[in-house]
Structure 1
Amino acid sequence: MGLGATIGATVSNEWKSTSRASSVITATWVFQGLWMSCAGNAIGAVHCRQHHTIFKLQGYIQVCRGLMISAVCLGFFATACALVGMKCTKIGGSDQLKARIACFSGLQYFLGGLCSLTACSLYANRIMSEFFDPMFVDQKYELGAALFIGWAGSALCILGGIVFFSSLFDGNSKSSNERNRYVYSATSYVSKPEKKQIHSTNVRRSPTEDSSTSKNFDKNAYV
């Protein structure tokens, strides 16, 4: 869910929208994203155009692009590692190795969530600084829906990373229990009497020897 929300926020065009309070024409509004700038009206017509070159874009937009792409890539590789590290899959090796793979996927989820959180917070900080700046005379914008989706996705990725990272301690505890399970099994082993001892019972002994042995052994000595 966190990865899906991060992808949805990355491709969305509603990172910021025009403020209706400062707009002269309320029937038309403009909303922008990391890749396109769109304009819509009350009729429902929407026209979008791409940002043609990255050299004319502002620096914070380029930084947000890189962070969101990094978050999506980290989330994709984390999902692939998580499928291998889960206990319900038959690939990945032992439980301890699966726990390490799950821990690595959790680290990727955590880093991806931090990248998405940083990008959305940086973009929102720029919008708010321009909105509350009395010296800023250009068009002012408000927070778009993509920012809230990105924040929710980053929170889910960070939470999922913590959950996967905790599986490493679970795997280590289970492996230690498996090692200590058969510690006492060697003491319960009873050796069988040798063949020579069995044949020695047929030898005829004197009454004195029988009396001496009866003191040391009970009736179940040869059972």
Structure 2
Amino acid sequence: MVGIALPNRYWKVSTVDGNVITTSTIYENLWMSCATDSIGVHNCRDFPSLLALSGYIQASRALMIASIVFGTFGLVATLVGMQCSKIGGENYVLKGRIAAIGGVFFLLQGICTMIAVSWYAANITQQFFDQFYPGTKYEIGEGLYIGWSSATLAICGGGCLLFACKAKTTEEKVPYPYQPSSRSHVFSVMAPSQSVPSNYGRNAYV
């Protein structure tokens, strides 16, 4: 979901509040600004300079990229730490710690995404309610809602993974329950009877 929210073009959309006639709609994200007219023609323009952007856009870019990196590490660590995976053998203590590290990465991913999306949305609302703001006013787009959903899921998933993967010592490892079969019981019963000498001759079986 972070990978879907990051390239989404609708992080903020120009508002129609107070406008009687709207001939074009402007929408932006962290990378470009686009406009569409009444006949449906789209024109997009990448931001020409990174240093010329506002500080919150630069910070949001860095946080979203860091979020994708943390999420990738968290996914790999979680797959390695799962008990059903063959990686790492049957050392469940080590696998539990690796899975807990994956949970930490997911928490970092959710926190970075939440900060970036909330910071971007705070600037949109601040400009929207500022009566003296001279530029174009925007509203919150669908990309921010996807980012909020992604951050919430990542934080909940990382927290659940940390609570579920408690580090256990080797003494706490529960052995596989041994269930003796009925055949071994029959063999143990019949074994003494084989030592008893038989009184029947060879002709008794004919």
Common fold, TM-score beyond 0.5? yes
Task: Describe the SS at the equivalent of 2:22.
Answer: coil
- Output the amino acid matched with 1:117: M
Q: Distance in 1 between matches of 2:154 and 2:4?
A: 14
Q: Distance in 2 between matches of 1:117 and 1:91?
A: 32
Q: Which has the larger radius of gyration?
A: 1
- Output the amino acid matched with 2:85: T
Query: 1:1-223 residue pairs with structure 2 within 5 A?
Result: 5-23=1-19, 25-93=21-89, 94-169=91-166, 171-172=167-168, 176-178=172-174
Q: Distance in 1 between matches of 2:21 and 2:127?
A: 20
Task: Describe the SS at the equivalent of 2:26.
Answer: strand
Alpha-carbon RMSD: 2.0
Cα offset for 1:92? 2.0
Cα offset for 1:28? 1.1
Task: Describe the SS at the equivalent of 1:11.
Answer: coil
| 1:148-186 CA-partner distances (Å, limit 9, x unpaired) | 0000000010011012112332x528851438x9xxxxx
The 1:35–1:23 alpha-carbon spacing in structure 2 relative to 1, beyond 3 Å, is: farther
| 1:47-92 CA-partner distances (Å, limit 9, x unpaired) | 1111111111111100000000000110011111111011121012
- TM-score in terms of structure 2 length: 0.80
Q: Distance in 2 between matches of 1:21 and 1:144?
A: 15
Contact 1:102 1:167 (8 Å CA) reproduced: no
Contact 1:96 1:175 (8 Å CA) reproduced: no
- TM-score in terms of structure 1 length: 0.74
Cα offset for 1:42? 3.1
- Output the amino acid matched with 2:3: I
Structure 1 segments unaligned to the other structure (5+ residues): 182-223
Larger helix proportion of the pair = 1
Aligned length, in residue pairs = 176
Cα offset for 1:132? 0.4
Cα offset for 1:24? 5.6
Q: Distance in 1 between matches of 2:4 and 2:24?
A: 25
Cα offset for 1:145? 0.6
Moved over 3 A (4+): 22-25
Q: Distance in 1 between matches of 2:163 and 2:130?
A: 45
Contact 2:113 2:147 (8 Å CA) reproduced: yes
| 1:7-47 CA-partner distances (Å, limit 9, x unpaired) | 11111111101001144642310000000100012322211
Task: Describe the SS at the equivalent of 1:53.
Answer: coil
Task: Describe the SS at the equivalent of 2:117.
Answer: helix
Equivalent pairs: percent with the same residue?
Answer: 37
